Amino acid sequence: MPNPLDRGRQRRPEPSPWALPPSSEFQGNHERIYECIASHPGIYLRKVSRDLGLAIGDVQYHLDRLEKQGKIKSTRQGLYRFFYPSDLFGDEDGPILAALSQATPRELLLHLIDEPEMSQEGLAHATNLSQPTVSWHMKRLSDLGLVQRTQKGRAVTYRITGNKGRIALFIRSYHPGVWERWSGRLAEIVLAFTSQRDTEK
């Protein structure tokens, strides 16, 4: 005789024989998130969530655990936190990785690597952006310590304050599509940087 208390209750579906046990699934996602960050240093929460098809809350939980374990570090820019492996990069690399993960700041930095000093007007023309947009992004890059702004009268110019070779090397290593477009102009900078680094070892 059926139990009247079971009325209206939905039977739980039988677990799939292919489903991972919770502990294995947890560890698997933990490792997937770390590998995603290692492959795309400077990535932010929502992009990890989109790329891996995981809920934002789950990704946030694992990111917090990874940071507490000392496996990753993060740097904040505006409303976003950008993550990178702590064993591959120093604290000074965080702002660079954060900027390179965003298309517009990355494009502005690329033009400044190619041409040591550019005016706000020149950057706007080169990137097809409005001058107010360039000014806004350059203010953020300046706050990160990556560029220096100089004003003489009404003219405003910018130059990179960090190591151009290191920035270009990060682009080659982690943004291959961008590197393909810029390699002709950046290859010598990367070569000089890596040669100097090897000499100093």
* Closest residue by Cα to residue 34 from 55, 65, 56: 65
The more confident residue out of 176 and 16 is 176
Q: Which residues pair with residue 85 across a beta bridge? A: 72
Q: Residue 9: inside a domain, yes or no?
A: no
Looking at the fold, whether 153 and 114 belong to one and the same domain comes out as yes
For the stretch 74-99, pLDDT in tens is 999 888 899 999 999 999 999 999 99
Residue-level pLDDT at 165: 92
Assess whether 74 and 123 both reside in one domain.
no
Alpha-carbon distance 88 to 84, whole Å? 8
Q: Identify the band that residue 201 occupies on the pLDDT scale cut at 50, 70 and 90.
A: low
Q: Would 115 be classed as within a structural domain?
A: yes
Block residue for tokens 């702002």: 95
Q: Is 5 part of a structural domain of the chain? A: no
CATH of the domain at 110: 1.10.10.10
pLDDT 10s digits, 113-153 = 999 899 999 999 999 999 999 999 999 999 999 999 999 88
In a domain, 8, yes or no: no
- Tell me if 57 is assigned to some domain: yes
Residue 4 lies in a domain: no
Convert the pLDDT of each residue in 158-193 to its tens digit.
Answer: 999 988 999 999 999 999 999 999 999 999 999 888
Average per-residue pLDDT in the chain? 88
In a domain, 1, yes or no: no
| Residue 155, pLDDT above cutoff 60 | yes
3-state secondary structure of 37: helix
**What domain range includes position 151?**
102-160
Strand blocks (E) in 78-194: 80-85, 118-119, 147-152, 155-160
| Residue 10 within a domain | no
In terms of domains, do 156 and 188 share one? no
67 shares a domain with 35: yes
